[in-house]
């Protein structure tokens, strides 16, 4: 089973990597970009009985390791 | 307009960050994880006339800056 976890900075948390990317895009001629935010996309291949079990387990992984919940939010998508 | 660019390593390219994450998950008790791959999710806020124009521009950004197309693939989703 495949699970995709998107981890991104909470609103209000500064994103210097995104800011640098916006500036780089601007200097390359892409003037229409107002904001860039950069997050992580974590793709897991895991064994699980069903989608519910997989979701529960990936939630635990996200809370304990994959995301820093002080500054980051995440969403999870379970695929077949 | 919002654009989401997912940048991920091509198949066959080693992912040491993913491997380290898999080991960390295993040592935390998550034994069912077979593989972890870690990519970037870049969220852009940009001005564009329509979705086609936005997609074209974000494709150019991805080719020139956001992805290293030697080792990475990307997909683009344009949202309202």
Mutate: best of B38, B64, B66, partner A, most A CBs <10 A? B38
Tens of pLDDT along B41-65?
999 999 999 999 999 999 999 999 9
pLDDT, average across residues B2-20 = 97
Q: Give the closest-approach CA distance of B12 to chain A in angstroms.
A: 15
CA distance A43 to A26: 30
CATH number of the structural domain spanning residue B10: 3.30.1280.10
Judged against a pLDDT cut of 90, whether residue B4 lies above it is answered with yes
Total domains in chain B come to 1
Neighbours of A10 (CB within 10 A): 11
pLDDT tens per residue across span A19-71 = 999 999 999 999 999 999 999 999 999 999 999 999 999 999 999 999 999 99
Q: How far is A42 from chain B (nearest CA, A)?
A: 5
- B29/B61 Cα distance (integer angstroms): 40
Confidence of residue A80 (pLDDT cuts 50, 70, 90): confident
Q: Which of A21, A37, A42 sits opposite B38 (nearest CB)?
A: A42
The whole domain housing A46 covers 2-79
């Amino acid at each position: 089973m495949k699970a995709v976890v998107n981890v991104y900075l909470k609103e209000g948390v500064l994103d210097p990597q995104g800011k640098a990317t916006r500036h780089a895009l601007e200097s390359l001629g892409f003037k229409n970009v107002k904001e860039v935010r950069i997050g992580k996309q974590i793709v897991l291949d895991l064994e699980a009985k069903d989608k519910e079990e997989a979701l529960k387990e990936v939630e635990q992984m996200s809370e304990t390791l994959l995301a820093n919940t002080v500054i980051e939010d995440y969403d999870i998508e379970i695929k077949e």
